[in-house]
Amino acid sequence: MTEYSADLHIHTVLSPCGSLDMAPKTIVNKAKEKHLDIIGITDHNHTGHCRVVSEIASQHQLFVLCGAEVTTREDAHCLAFFPSFALLNNFQLLLDKTLRRVTNKPELFGHQVIVNREEEILQEIEPLLISATTLSVDELEAEVHRRGGLFIPAHVNRSAYSLTSQLGFVPPSINADALEISKHITKEQFRCDNPALNKFSLIRSSDAHFPEDIGAVNTRFSIKEPSFEEIRKALHREDGRAVL
């Protein structure tokens, strides 16, 4: 097995709260500068930049896990990743259908633009992407797994927009592939504080909205190669793969 460094929670300029500097090429360059091998693209309720980031990253030996940070109807944030663009696009149709229809006001929330590799604007998304969907946590989990994806509740230790803040706790019975913790707590401290959750693998991510935050913390995977299936096996501690 080989160790790979990953930051699986990165926003692009498509997220209204993301910096206008978070263009696909900038993200890839910063990830390589931080010696990352794997990144996750997780804009709020939208997957529109996954393909272009993947195309650029493939020229720099950087693997991209493609997905979104979905807001459930409880206002909990969860990461969802998929093994193919076909499944990713199918999931986007579900997000389009279930996102609450609130029109974005760029002067208040920020612009929501899809750009190409030259940073030319191709489309501006009208619905406010930081709104909640109508999907419950359990419904979202079922939809992600039905499409062969990975379901990872985001920054579960945070006091806002997490399972802990919205439900009061992380249900030990939740059918998650892993749990994400923020850069503000170590894995050791989280496990000490939450022994009932020790069965879950933990990832630690930057939740980067600005280029300088990319790779502020990372997760180490012991896997054969950077791929969706190898990461899935590591999260489930299968066949000698592991999250370190």
CATH of the domain at 220: 3.20.20.140
Residues spanned by the domain of 151: 2-243
**Short-list 23, 25, 21, 28, CA closest to 62:** 28
Per-residue confidence (pLDDT) for residue 6, from 0 to 100: 98
d(CA 130, CA 200): 27
Task: Give strand pairing partners of 127.
Answer: 103
Q: Please state the domain count of the chain.
A: 1
CB 9 within 8 A of CB 92: no
Q: Is the pTM of this model over 0.85?
A: yes
Q: What three-state secondary structure class fits 39?
A: strand
119: its two tokens: 């940073």
* Residue-level pLDDT at 187: 95
Q: State the burial class of residue 110 (Cβ atoms within 10 Å of its Cβ: 0-12, 13-18, 19+).
A: buried
Tens-binned pLDDT, residue by residue, of the chain (244 aa) = 999 999 999 999 999 998 889 999 999 999 999 999 999 999 999 999 999 999 999 999 999 999 999 999 999 999 999 999 999 999 999 999 999 999 999 999 999 999 999 999 999 999 999 999 999 999 999 999 999 999 999 999 999 999 999 999 999 999 999 999 999 999 999 999 999 999 999 999 999 999 999 999 999 999 999 999 999 999 999 999 999 9
| pLDDT given for residue 230 in this prediction | 98
Q: Are 134 and 95 contacting, i.e. CB atoms less than 8 angstroms apart?
A: no
219 to 7, 15, 100, 158, 228: CA distances (angstroms): 6, 23, 33, 18, 15
Q: How far apart are CA 83 and CA 91, in angstroms?
A: 12
Q: What is the pLDDT of residue 20?
A: 85
